[in-house]
């Protein structure tokens, strides 16, 4: 390899790595779809009921994993809930009936998107309350810093300014002109 060829290779070196990583990213992303923990024995034969079961189970929280839907969780409880949802659907329940049944059994915590009501008020308002509280604390901190900076500026007098200030504020400086008081004594 000559010096010119190796120089060209080194100039293209970053481009080669970018293309390699881009190729790996695309190749790795092609086979990756949304993960589903639904086992083959759970799948209903009726495609319409299965689609409804998938929609419902994607909106129910796994009580073990807590931030996964039961459709995505491999936990045994999630499996039981998926089977329960499918049993309710095959029994003829509507989607709302299935949600009502599961909520009655496990509470509103099982819903990934809980309703806005008095029981979930704090859950819905907490982000705004935290934002207001943080803004108030930042404001108070800024205000305290401004007061501290003002105090620092007052304390930063030179020696000459301190002597002049002491001369102005001392009681003997007012009697230096010979006038001892209002009556002249």
At 134 the pLDDT is 92
Neighbouring residues of 106: CB distance < 8 A, sequence distance ≥ 6: 63
Q: What is the DSSP-derived secondary structure letter of residue 170?
A: S
Q: Where are the domains of the chain?
A: 40-115, 121-170
Is pTM beyond 0.75? Reply is no
pLDDT at 157: 72
Indicate the class that CATH gives domain 40-115: mainly alpha
Q: What is the pLDDT of residue 32?
A: 47
User: Among 113, 49, 37, which residue's Cα sits nearest to residue 80?
Assistant: 37
pLDDT in tens, 92-122: 889 999 999 999 998 888 888 888 888 778 8
Q: How far apart are CA 44 and CA 68, in angstroms?
A: 22
Given CA atoms 37, 57, 81, 70 in this order, what sign does their dihedral have?
positive
Q: Which tens digit of pLDDT belongs to each residue from 21-34?
A: 666 667 665 544 44
Interval 136-157: pLDDT, tens: 998 888 777 777 666 666 667 7
Per-residue pLDDT reduced to its tens digit, 45-76: 788 888 898 899 889 988 888 788 888 888 88
Q: Which residues are CB-contacts of 112 (< 8 A; sequence separation ≥ 6)? A: 58, 59, 60, 61, 69
Predicted confidence at residue 160, as pLDDT, reads 86
Length of the chain: 185
> What is the DSSP code (8-state) at residue 72?
T
Largest CA distance in the chain: 117
């Amino acid at each position: 390899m000559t010096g010119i060829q190796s120089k060209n290779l080194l100039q293209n070196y970053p481009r080669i790595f970018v293309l390699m990583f881009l190729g790996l990213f695309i190749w790795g992303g092609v086979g990756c779809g949304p993960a589903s923990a639904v086992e083959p024995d759970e799948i209903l034969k009726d495609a319409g009921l299965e689609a409804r079961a998938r929609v419902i189970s994607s909106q129910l929280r796994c009580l073990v994993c807590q931030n996964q839907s039961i459709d995505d969780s491999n936990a045994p409880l999630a499996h039981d809930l998926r089977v329960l949802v499918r049993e309710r659907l095959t029994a003829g329940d509507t989607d709302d009936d299935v949600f009502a049944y599961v909520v009655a059994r496990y509470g509103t915590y099982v819903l990934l998107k809980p309703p806005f009501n008095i029981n979930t008020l704090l859950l819905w308002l907490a982000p705004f309350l935290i934002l207001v509280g943080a803004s108030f604390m930042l404001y108070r901190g800024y205000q305290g810093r401004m007061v501290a900076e003002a105090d620092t500026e007052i304390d930063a007098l030179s020696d000459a300014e301190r002597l002049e200030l002491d001369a102005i504020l001392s009681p003997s400086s007012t009697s230096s002109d010979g006038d001892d008081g209002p009556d002249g004594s």
